[in-house]
Amino acid sequence: MEQGRSQQLFEQAQRVIPGGVNSPVRSFRAVEGTPPFIARGAGAHVWDVDGNEYIDYLGSWGPLALGHAHPAVVEAVQRAAADGTSFGAPVEQEVELAEMICAALPSVELVRLVNSGTEACMTALRLARAYTGRSKIVKFAGNYHGHADGLLVAAGSGALTHGIPTSAGVPESYAAETLIATFNDIASVEGLFEAWPEDIAAVIVEPIAGNMGVVPPADGFLEGLRQVTETRGALLIFDEVITGFRVAYGGAQTLFGITPDITTMGKIIGGGLPVGAYGGRNEVMQQVAPLGPMYQAGTLSGNPLAVAAGVATLTELQRPGVYEQLESTGIRLIDGVNAAFARAEVPSTVNRVASMFTGFFNAGPVSALAEVEQSDTAAYGRYMHALLERGVYIAPSQFEAGFVSIAHTDADIDRTIVAVGDALAALG
């Protein structure tokens, strides 16, 4: 595989950007090697600067449910850009996106648009604290909610991959406000409420964990969270940054029929441009400035480019059959991958919910962080490189989700399954 241009760019990048990347998850440190620099994408495919083509399962880490450069999104962004990129004053399109979000998510009556999932989750905590007058937060080890200080405690995703789940630079006094529970273990949450009955403002959870690899909620886990938070006067925050508009148009809360108090979103609602959002029921959102005393703002929030991409994306996702197609594409991929691993006699467990999945190098079951961590990450790294050489791009970390889009064709999936078989054979 030719990598000369990527290598050259990576060397240049490392001279001016920490680690050569603007987000650690893009780094190949955990799996070694040089990340391909991507030149362009179309549908389910991307091409790097050396001309190598890949079937892409990163999907920009979740936003691209329609695939790359979907014509409706490109056209919407171009049209919006021609009329000006930012005004710092209200625009019509942001109302449209907010209306679409409120219509889609049963728990969201009012929504505020921001610029990233990080901002959304950071603000959701502030909102929960403002509403309850309490200071502590419960989060789950291995869940990732962006890089706000109080959430970089026992975090997943790149923080887990690079061995820094609790970041340097977070004051201990502040980290102490974040209590850590065990995903899929309701007793661990109840124990924290026993210890801090009057202090917990909110429990924040990825309703389907994606940032320690995909781990679905155990039966009754989300119901248990709903119940214990309600009983104890705390708010339940669903981080639907990945799952919103992905596992169902109405997100995980619709899939599982649970109503959180606050929902955070990002990724798909921006169609590949920087957008995040947090929303909830009217009474809670009344805290948000200028209605209430909880301050949050943004120069570029709701800017016409980002919201145009979001509206175009959600409009396409409303077409009949889209989620059925995502589901059947996911099934086709995972059935084929499972069969290839079985043929190669490599112990593995594939967790999948709708169009999000992770193949663990682990005989399984993988239903908790402790089990995730038993995966053979070195084997994963070799496998990931063997796939890359065969034109298939998966995350450069075992602890991440992969995504299929509506642009992945049966032919793409079948080519991928062949590549998986060949990669496993080559690794012996």
Provide the binding-site residues for ligand PMP, judged by CB under 6 A. Answer: 61, 116-118, 121, 144-146, 157, 206, 210-211, 239, 241-242, 266, 276
Residue 252: burial class (beta carbons within 10 Å; 0-12, 13-18, 19+) = buried
Nearest residue (CB) to ligand PMP, 157 versus 397: 157
DSSP SS3 for 246: coil
Nearest residue (CB) to ligand PMP, 3 versus 143: 143
End-to-end CA distance of the chain: 20
Nearest residue (CB) to ligand PMP, 8 versus 167: 167
Nearest to 382 by CA among 326, 344, 335: 344
State how far the Cα of 383 lies from the Cα of 361, in Å rounded to an integer: 10
Is 136 annotated as catalytic?
Answer: no
Rg (C-alpha) for the chain, rounded Å, is 21
| DSSP states of 353-418 | ETTEEEEESSSS---SHHHHTTS-HHHHHHHHHHHHHTTEE--SSSSS-EE--TT--HHHHHHHHH
Nearest residue (CB) to ligand PMP, 93 versus 123: 123
Q: How far is the CB of 101 from ligand PMP (least distance, A)?
A: 16
Nearest residue (CB) to ligand PMP, 6 versus 123: 123
Q: How far is the CB of 239 from ligand PMP (least distance, A)?
A: 5
Nearest residue (CB) to ligand PMP, 136 versus 145: 145
Nearest residue (CB) to ligand PMP, 372 versus 424: 372
Catalytic residue, candidates 54, 131, 144, 278: 144
State how far the Cα of 49 lies from the Cα of 38, in Å rounded to an integer: 6
Position with the least CB separation from ligand PMP: 117
CA 171, chain centre distance (Å): 26
Q: How far is the CB of 63 from ligand PMP (least distance, A)?
A: 9
Catalytic residue, candidates 48, 56, 239, 412: 239
Beta strand pairing call for 38-42 and 45-48: antiparallel
Is 267 annotated as catalytic?
Answer: yes
Q: How far is the CB of 116 from ligand PMP (least distance, A)?
A: 4
Catalytic residue, candidates 131, 139, 249, 267: 267
Q: How far is the CB of 147 from ligand PMP (least distance, A)?
A: 7
| Residue type for position 110 | L
Is 323 annotated as catalytic?
Answer: no
| DSSP states of 287-322 | TBTTTSSB----TTTT-HHHHHHHHHHHHHHTSTTH
SS3 breakdown of the chain: % helix, strand, coil, rounded to 5? 45, 15, 40
DSSP SS3 for 49: coil
Q: Which residues are catalytic?
A: 144, 239, 267
